[in-house]
Amino acid sequence: MKCTGAILASWLKFSRSDNMEATVSLISYTPQPDALCSVASKNCVSKEVPGFDMYANSLNTALESGHYSILEHATFTFSIENMTRVTLAQFTRHRMASYAVKSQRYTSAKGVDYILPGRIIELLNSNDESFNKFDQYHTSLKVFLDNLIDNKIPNEDIRYLFPEGTTTNMIVTMNGRELLHFFELRCCNKAQWEIRNIAKMMLKLVKEVAPIMFAKAGPPCVSGKCREKNPCGKA
């Protein structure tokens, strides 16, 4: 028996990282984000409140001058499904954001998924001893969690036993300025693979609705010089 993403137990499931990856949707955003941020920029140097005409040049000028505070007027809200708790911990290091995360306390402990990275799958598929040890661990954990449920242990306590790779769903809102910072760190090849994949999907979505704001978004090597002490060598 080899790991192929199949269900090994009745409700505690593991999935391959390459066939159950996170999905990202842009579910809400400030209307005309490029134009709005341009109006905010022009307002600083105009006698009267400016209109939305000829906004492109104004926004480019502001960004080239490093006036990123104007981007805080536009917000973007994403729905992210099937991300792991490992990546959730990395996301919440970005303080200038609002998060709503699926609760392990108020949702059923049954039907829990967790993701195994591809490199672990490769090891399990190439090494019978490693696979057997994993199978024993997985089965034992499932049996023990079943026992906790049978003994009426509440979800808020059972969740302490879940693997870090357990999947969750999240709604996150960031303003344009924080997103630029997020993409700078998380689209980098040095970032962890899961959050990097999610960041790239987020960047693709916002570029469609705010092409000027995010024209040069991404890791520092996109528009300048890498700041990593040990560069990836694949700028």
The catalytic site residues sit at 186
Nearest residue to 191 (alpha-carbon basis) of 223, 221, 224: 221
Beta bridge partners of 166: 114
Q: What residues contact 204, with CB distance under 8 A and at least 6 apart? A: none
Q: At what angle do helices 128-150 and 118-126 cross, to 10 degrees?
A: 120
Distance CA 67, CA 232 (A): 29
Amino acid at 182: F
The DSSP secondary-structure symbol of 105 reads T
Q: What element of type H or E holds 142?
A: helix 128-150
